[in-house]
């Protein structure tokens, strides 16, 4: 029994390829491509689901008492400059809200 194990060990050592002969091959390339395709498909699916959630919320399918306040994405670059110009123009023309803005979740007109 020990002799057969020794012979198997010798065959296994002799069957090891050289470092230069080891390559990933087409199978690994195919697996890599399939993984990229899976990520793309999952990304499109996620986008579709998120759009459906927004449409359902706008249609009123969710409980309105559970609304979470939406926090906007801070603007940068040209969008921030445009918003600053629009705010300055609104304040100059007197269309501003007088320096006070209603807090989220409160009415803009307290007299109602």
Tens place of pLDDT per residue across the chain (112 aa): 777 888 888 887 777 778 888 888 999 999 999 999 999 999 999 999 988 988 888 888 877 676 666 666 677 888 888 888 988 998 888 765 555 555 555 555 555 4
Read off the pTM. Answer: 0.42
**Is the residue at 44 inside a domain?**
yes
Distance from the first to the final alpha carbon of the chain: 96
Give alpha helix (H) positions in the chain: 2-14, 25-59, 78-92
Residue 49 lies in a domain: yes
CB atoms within 10 A of CB 91: 13
Q: What is the count of structural domains for the chain?
A: 1
Position 31 scores a pLDDT of 96
Q: Tell me whether residue 10 is in a domain.
A: no
Structural domain that includes position 56: 32-60
pLDDT of residue 34: 98
Q: Is residue 65 part of a domain?
A: no
In a domain, 112, yes or no: no
């Amino acid at each position: 029994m020990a002799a057969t194990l020794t012979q198997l060990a010798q065959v296994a050592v002799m069957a090891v390829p050289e470092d230069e002969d080891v390559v990933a091959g087409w199978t690994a390339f195919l697996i890599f491509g399939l993984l990229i395709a899976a990520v793309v498909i999952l990304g499109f699916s996620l986008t579709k689901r998120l759009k459906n959630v927004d449409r359902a919320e706008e249609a009123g399918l969710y409980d309105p008492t559970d609304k979470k306040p939406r926090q906007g994405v801070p603007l940068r670059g040209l969008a921030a400059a445009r918003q600053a110009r629009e705010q300055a123009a609104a304040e100059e023309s007197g269309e501003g809200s007088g320096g006070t803005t209603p807090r989220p979740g409160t009415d803009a007109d307290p007299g109602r």
